Amino acid sequence: MSVFGTMESEVRSYSRAWPTVFTTGHGALLRDESGRAYLGFFAGAGALNYGHNPPELKAALLEYLSGDGVTHGLDMNTTAKRAFLERFRDPVLVPRGLDYRVQFPGPGRAAPTRSRPRSSSPGRSPGGTPSPTSTAASTG
């Protein structure tokens, strides 16, 4: 039996339907170990809306990594986070008069958590009700 069958959870389903091992992806195509091409319909379950390895995103990512950019900062302040927030705020939020907050959540249970009384939680008024300032969040 292959390493996939012996090491992976039984929860997996797609890999059972396609008994192949994919090696590369470009645009909408995936290739397997034998070189056969497959049309990818997943779109990364929402994460690959631009296809596999789009040249513009790939170049920006490689530039960031080659410059030793911070790749795991949780909720710490980084230059990359500042650039993202400014580029989101200025052309999207400000012109629409939106007073949103952005949250950068971690990967589920692995994320650190803090407990505070509702009255002192950011984004809540002393009575525990949501404040007029809204929150926008994304995990992907």
- For the chain, domains (ranges, CATH) are 3-66 (3.90.1150.10), 79-106+118-137 (no CATH)
Question: How would you classify the pairing of strands 100-103 and 134-137?
Answer: parallel
Q: Are 29 and 37 contacting, i.e. CB atoms less than 8 angstroms apart?
A: yes
Its pTM stands at: 0.57
d(CA 135, CA 99): 9
Which pLDDT belongs to residue 106? 66
Characterise 103 by phi-psi region: left (phi > 0), alpha (psi -120 to 50), beta (else): beta
Q: Are 16 and 10 contacting, i.e. CB atoms less than 8 angstroms apart?
A: no
Phi and psi (nearest 5°) for 17? -75, -30
Q: Are 21 and 33 contacting, i.e. CB atoms less than 8 angstroms apart?
A: yes
For the residues 45-69, what does the mean pLDDT come to?
87
**Average per-residue pLDDT in the chain?**
77
Q: How long, in residues, is the chain?
A: 140
pLDDT tier, 117 (very low <50, low <70, confident <90, very high otherwise): very low
